[in-house]
Amino acid sequence: MSRHGLSLRTAWPVAVLIGLAGAAYTAWVLEVVLSTGLNPVETYVSELAAQDQPLGGLFRATDFTAGLLAFAGGLPALLGLLRHAASRRPWAVVGWAGVTLFGAATAADAWLPLSCTPTADPVCAARETAGLVPATHQAHAISSSLAMTGALTGVVALTVAARRYGWFAPLARYGPALVVLELLATVWTLSAIALFTAGRGTWALGAGQRLQVLFVALWLGLLAYSVHKERRTRVHDARRPPVHEERRPRVHKEHRT
């Protein structure tokens, strides 16, 4: 077992699953080539998966896939840390718990879609304000909040762990920049949501949220690469033949009688 709780056998599937989760989490970019009828600058990302949208089923499927993959990748890493006291570092445990929560909540999000698109449809927005929409709207808000809370926790905590404990060199090097960008995008998104809820327009809510989601996906890709690279280094070191010290010839001193 390595110092970061991932064995050679576990590290490879964790890296693959997390990397695929990051790729699936960017499926919303398909709106660039597909006709969704929604303005990406103004609308929630989750509105692509609304029940009244023609491509809603596609985006719900990709959300569920992303969440399932992230959960399947984060859980064994978390359990590996919890099983081995030597690897149980607080920042790492919190970080992998965040990734696991993100995966579970994102998968649940796909099963709790919006019924309509409140930022694009005034009738839907009025019904939502009046509480006349299905309960899935409120449930969706909770699952989305949990997913982003898990993502932010994972992004920050695992990046801190990489720098503090000397793990995952690429994440330690490039992770802080993504942390800053993710936090800025989150502030933008939350501010825009508050303004929209207060009836003051969308304030490019969609652009902020898409950046927020994009930075999470990029961070997942960086995490996957970091796990893979560390595993590859360990395999290389394990195959390296041991270095033996050269034996020096013993010098016999002549003893005078």
Residue 247 has pLDDT above 50, yes or no: no
Nearest alpha-carbon partner for 36 in 60, 63, 59, 66 = 59
Kindly state the average pLDDT of the residues 8-34: 94
Contact 210, 182 (CB under 8 A): no
For residue 60, report the phi and psi dihedrals to the nearest 5 degrees: -65, -40
Residue 243, H or E segment = none
Residue with tokens 């576990």: 10
Kindly state the average pLDDT of the residues 42-56: 96
- Give me the pLDDT at residue 4, please: 60
Residue 246 has pLDDT above 70, yes or no: no
Where is mean pLDDT largest: 163-172, 173-182, 234-243? Answer: 173-182
Can you give 170-229 as a three-state secondary structure string?
A: HHHHHHHHHHHHHHHHHHHHHHHHHHHHCCCCCCCHHHHHHHHHHHHHHHHHHHHHHHHH
- Give me the pLDDT at residue 6, please: 80
Residue 242 has pLDDT above 90, yes or no: no
- Give me the pLDDT at residue 232, please: 80
Residue with tokens 């960086």: 222
- Give me the pLDDT at residue 7, please: 78
Residue 101 has pLDDT above 50, yes or no: yes
Alpha helices, DSSP H only, in the chain?
8-24, 56-83, 90-110, 122-129, 136-165, 169-197, 205-239
- Give me the pLDDT at residue 85, please: 73
Kindly state the average pLDDT of the residues 102-120: 96
Residues near 22 by Cβ (< 8 Å), separated by ≥ 6?
66, 216, 217, 218, 219, 220, 221, 224
Q: How many CB atoms lie within 10 A of CB 84?
A: 15
- Give me the pLDDT at residue 245, please: 44
32, with CB counted inside 10 A (0-12, 13-18, 19+), is exposed
Kindly state the average pLDDT of the residues 51-65: 96
pTM score: 0.89
pLDDT band at 177 (very low <50, low <70, confident <90, very high): very high
The one-letter amino acid at 64? F
Contact 162, 173 (CB under 8 A): no
